[in-house]
Amino acid sequence: MALKFLEKFSDKERKIFYITLAFVLLAMFDRLVLGPFSAKTAELDGQIEEQKISVMQDMQVLAYKGKINAESAQFDDYLSDEVQDDNIVNADFLSMIERIADYSEVTLIKSNPTKTNKTDRFTEYYASVDCSGSFEKVVTFMHNINSADELLKIVQFNIVPKRGTSDNVNISLTVVKLLMTPNA
């Protein structure tokens, strides 16, 4: 049947028919095969771009991981891994003040724990300290307390000149020790 149909055409008409048939078949191939394939490829390219953005964000977080761990490691010395008894912490606290006083060459007259403030993130231990010495040594003592390896801070002080001497002073201090709890 198709041959009878083609026999009616002249050679020139057959060539045009074959060329037209080829174009129609190419158009159908494009619509039925290449169109869905290119649409799926475009969809996958979009998903790949989304994943690239997600990976880039994750890489930024990972780039900061080392910095965050390094900064966190700086605070490890100040964190208490276990909850210690207040009496043990206060004894350690007062012995540290005594060591700093000996190192600073001041006379420690009295050191007593006063109060404790506990929160969910940290505990503050307060101590009342009285000492005497030359003004320079007392200032050195105060500096050594504030720059100790543990978190110590002078929150209140009173300096009174010692009677009968030109450079000796008595000092009363309130010192606080901060003990942080991890994962707070």
Query: Model confidence over 75-111: pLDDT tens digits?
Result: 776 666 666 778 888 889 899 999 999 999 999 999 9
Strand partners of residue 134: 168
For the domain bounded by 78-180, which CATH number is listed?
A: 3.30.70.60
Element (H, E) at 145: helix 135-146
CA proximity to 108, closest of 86, 137, 136: 137
How does pLDDT run across 121-154, given as a tens digit for each residue?
A: 788 899 999 999 999 999 999 999 999 888 889 9
Residue 64 CB coordination number (10 Å): 11
Neighbour count for residue 128 (Cβ, 10 Å): 15
The domain segmentation of the chain, as residue ranges, is 2-74, 78-180
Residue 51 is predicted with a pLDDT of: 94
Q: What is the pTM of this model?
A: 0.59
How confident is the prediction for the chain on average, in pLDDT? 86
